[in-house]
A and B are shown apart, each in its own frame.
Chain A
Amino acid sequence: RKEVEQDPGPFNVPEGATVAFNCTYSNSASQSFFWYRQDCRKEPKLLMSVYSSGNEDGRFTAQLNRASQYISLLIRDSKLSDSATYLCAVSLGGYNKLIFGAGTRLAVHP
């Protein structure tokens, strides 16, 4: 079993739709959780950290479910510019290795 797993997609959604991705992790001792966004052939960039209480940044909401060992990303009112691959990343915290999922591809169409 992979340490961090994501549905590769693609998720094809129309503009304005709400879409959600999940990411499961295997190590219950994991402490730090992140969502990164990667555009085609570009470097990953931090989208948001995921806090225990959940957090929201505009149209994006991230949640952590420790009991079931997954994190989620919800995108409301999808824009064409949201089309990208979304990588989740998990670590034991601090300078411990950040383990990335293989990414979920999102394609938003007009």
Chain B
Amino acid sequence: EAQVTQNPRYLITVTGKKLTVTCSQNMNHEYMSWYRQDPGLGLRQIYYSMNVEVTDKGDVPEGYKVSRKEKRNFPLILESPSPNQTSLYFCASLEGFNGELFFGEGSRLTVL
């Protein structure tokens, strides 16, 4: 089954404790992206990657890091989480050029 898998799905952590949200896709897509979704603000892009070892900033990259060492994986790293990073995070991969975005099920993160 074609899918984008994120882990963890739910996480409560404390300020400053580094965490990583993993994302893996099994569709051999080149393009992957991370979004955060907040009430009233919609989905905002954090980082994206057009291929292995190629990453770029989206609209709200501050406080986040990513890496793309393999085509299927695109982890999101919060080196020192803060309460304003409490949000619902989605990883997505893009089918083809100008195609459909496939989203993972989301990771709800709470930073206390």
Contacts and interface: CB of A to CB of B under 8 A. Distances in A.
Contacts of B106: 41-43
B84 interface: no
Contacts, number: 45
Contacts of A20: none
B74 interface: no
A58 interface: no
A97 B45 contact: yes
A32 B104 contact: no
Interface residues of B, number: 22
Secondary structure of the B contact surface, majority rule = strand
A95 B97 contact: yes
Interface string B59-85: 100000000000000000000000000
Contacts of B31: 95
The 10 closest A-B pairs by CB, nearest first: A102-B42, A43-B103, A100-B43, A46-B100, A100-B42, A43-B105, A44-B103, A43-B106, A94-B98, A94-B97
Interface of A: 4, 8, 32, 36, 41-46, 87, 89, 93-95, 97-98, 100-103
